[in-house]
Amino acid sequence: MALSSITRENVLAFRQRATYLHRRLPQGRLAEAAFAGLQDSAPRSAVLALHARVKDVSPSAWKDFRFVQVWGPRGAVYVVPGHDVAVFTLGRLPRDPVLEAAVRAAAEKAQRAFRARQAQPERVLSDRAVGLNFRELRIASMTGAVRIEWDGATTSWWLVEPPAEAPERARLELARRFLRSVGLSTAKEFAWWSGGWAGSFGSSTRGELSDAQHTFRSLEKELIEV
């Protein structure tokens, strides 16, 4: 059943409360403030976002043990709760078998490069020296196996065990968090926000839009048209 009267003020009030901008949370709920992920572009926007939502936030809050950094939606650097890594990585894994294979191939290439670095710890090897570029790393990050640390100037990366969670479950949860934070939206807007094929900015690809539409259909019983 469609609702007929949702005003701009209704939407703004919803977003303010949903994202904890109406009242600051106590320090103990720091991770909760990042439930939808916090993009961490210059100048440390994740810390600014936390400061707006949580009491007594320090400049180093992005390094809190409850957080990790990953390449998330649109291939951007994100600060996310450590226990939610699967949502922001596997949640973006393409359903298309060809595209998923490309992600897996990029992850295997990252593993080879990582092993090459570990084999020569006395040398500082650039990504290019081990045959890897950042776009490939961003693609590989959709497996959940890549961790990063962006210090405002440079980005360090390493590999970890990927999450065991099923990708489909993560895809649906990513959409839920998107809708919880923005309120009214469409599959097309979700495709733009969550996609970006590992940093290829601009319009969503056909595959990203198809994935978003699939996700919204899967959540149909949880959604109301307005």
The closest alpha carbon to 148, from 76, 91, 92, belongs to: 76
How does DSSP classify residue 203?
Answer: S
Residues 6+ apart with CB under 8 A from 199: 71, 74, 75, 76, 134, 135, 138
Q: Are 117 and 130 in contact (CB under 8 A)?
A: yes
Q: Are 70 and 141 in contact (CB under 8 A)?
A: yes
pLDDT band with cut points at 50, 70 and 90 for residue 75: confident
The closest alpha carbon to 183, from 19, 54, 33, belongs to: 19
Kindly report the average pLDDT of the chain as a whole number. 90
Burial class (CB in 10 A: 0-12, 13-18, 19+), 63: middle
Omega cis (within 30) before 167:
no
Rg (CA), the chain: 18
If one compares 77 and 152, the residue with the highest pLDDT of the two is 77
- Can you tell me the distance from the alpha carbon of 122 to that of 132, in angstroms, rounded to the nearest whole number? 19
The closest alpha carbon to 159, from 118, 200, 125, belongs to: 118
Is residue 198 predicted with pLDDT exceeding 80? no
pLDDT digits (tens, 9 = 90+) for 89-122: 999 999 999 999 999 999 999 999 888 877 765 5
pLDDT digits (tens, 9 = 90+) for 16-39: 999 999 999 999 999 999 999 999
Mean pLDDT, residues 144-155 = 91
Bridge partners of residue 54, in order along the sequence: 25
